[in-house]
Amino acid sequence: MKRLLQRALEVKLDHLDNYVHLRGLIEYGNVCEKNCLYCGLRSGNDRVARYCLSDEEVLSCARLAHELGYGSVALQSGERSDPAFIDKIEQLVREIKKIDGGSLGITLSLGEQSEETYRRWFEAGAHRYLLRIESSTEELYYQIHPKNGRHDFHRRLECLETLKRLGYQTGTGVMVGLPGQTLDHLTDDLLFFKRMDVAMVGLGPYIPHPDTPLWRLRDRIPSASERMDLTLKMIAILRIMMPEINMVAATANQTVDPQGREKAIAAGANVIMPNLTPGEYRESYFIYPDKACVKDRPDQCKNCLDIRLAAIGHKILYNAWGDSLAFTKKK
Ligand code: SAH
Ligand code: SF4
The span from the CA of 331 to the CA of 328, in Å, is 5
Residue 132: nearest ligand to its CA?
1
CA angle (220 as vertex; 146, 43 as ends), nearest 5: 30
In the predicted model, is pLDDT for residue 172 greater than 80? yes
Ligand 2 atom index nearest CA of 42: 6
In the predicted model, is pLDDT for residue 84 greater than 80? yes
Ligand 2 atom index nearest CA of 77: 8
Percent of the chain with pLDDT over 90: 94
Stated pTM of the model: 0.98
Residue 290: nearest ligand to its CA?
1
The span from the CA of 118 to the CA of 242, in Å, is 26
Q: In this structure, which amino acid lies at residue 167?
A: G
CA of 75 to the centre of ligand 2 (A): 14
> Which of 25, 30, 37, 39 most suits a substitution to test ligand 1, by most atoms within 8 Å of the C-beta?
39
In the predicted model, is pLDDT for residue 14 greater than 90? yes
The span from the CA of 17 to the CA of 55, in Å, is 37
Residue 145: nearest ligand to its CA?
2
pLDDT tens sequence across 225-253: 999 999 999 999 999 999 999 999 999 99
Q: What DSSP string runs through 164-208?
A: HHHT-EEEE-BEES-TT--HHHHHHHHHHHHHHT-SEEEEEE---
Which residue's CA is the nearest one to ligand 2's atom 4?
36
- The Cα-based distances of 26 to 92, 153, 166, 260 in angstroms read 12, 27, 24, 21
Where is pLDDT greater, at 219 or 291?
Answer: 219
The span from the CA of 275 to the CA of 277, in Å, is 6
- Pairing between β-strand 315-316 and β-strand 271-272 as defined by DSSP bridges: unpaired
In the predicted model, is pLDDT for residue 96 greater than 90? yes
pLDDT tens sequence across 259-318: 999 999 999 999 999 999 999 999 999 999 988 777 788 878 888 999 999 999 999 999
Q: Is 257 in the pocket of ligand 1 (CB under 6 A)?
A: no
- Pairing between β-strand 19-22 and β-strand 72-77 as defined by DSSP bridges: unpaired
Mean pLDDT lowest for which of 67-76, 198-207, 287-296? 287-296
Which residue's CA is the nearest one to ligand 1's atom 10?
132
B/e letters for 47-85, b = 16+ CB within 10 Å, e = fewer, are ebeebbbeeebbbebbebbbebebbbbbbbbbbbeeeeb
